Amino acid sequence: MKKLFSLSLMLAAFAFISSARIDAQTPKRIQFAKGKNSVVVKGTTGGYGITYVLRAKSGQKLVLNLTPVSSVGIKVETIGTYGKMVLLREQSGGTYEVGLEESGDYTIFVGSLGRNPVSFTLTVKITKLTDI
């Protein structure tokens, strides 16, 4: 009976930890206020990083400004006509521009370069690709 109770307790703990990890990795949707083309997102990477999803159109440019410059990295990817594509992968903060060839969802991942959570500010702006 003790073994059954211990096994049940262990399975419940595992289920709780697994669901907490899944919740931590659930993407957050970025939406712009009506009439705006930029938004500022403040967050913390946590232990695993944080993922945002943004819908954009082909012919647009995604401008990202991530601070701090050290301790965080950023990755932008999408699933398009040719499968999963990584459009940007940087191991530091800063300002980055990404031309978008297809309409759809784009994933922005911000992660800590170490195992410690890092507070960050991410400015996301969408402009016309010709506005270079």
Quick one: pLDDT at residue 10?
45
CA distance 32 to 65: 16
Interatomic CA distance for residues 28 and 51, integer angstroms = 6
Residue where the block lists tokens 């938004």: 39
Q: How far apart are the first and last CA of the chain?
A: 70
- How many whole angstroms separate alpha carbon 130 and alpha carbon 59? 8
CATH 2.40.30.10 correct for 27-128: no
Whether the model pTM is above 0.85: no
Classify residue 108 as exposed, middle or buried by CB count within 10 Å of its CB (0-12, 13-18, 19+): buried
Domain map (residue ranges) of the chain: 27-128
pLDDT, one tens digit per residue, over 61-120 is 999 999 999 999 999 999 988 899 999 999 999 999 999 999 999 999 999 998 899 999
Neighbours of 73 (CB within 10 A): 19
DSSP three-state, residue 127: strand
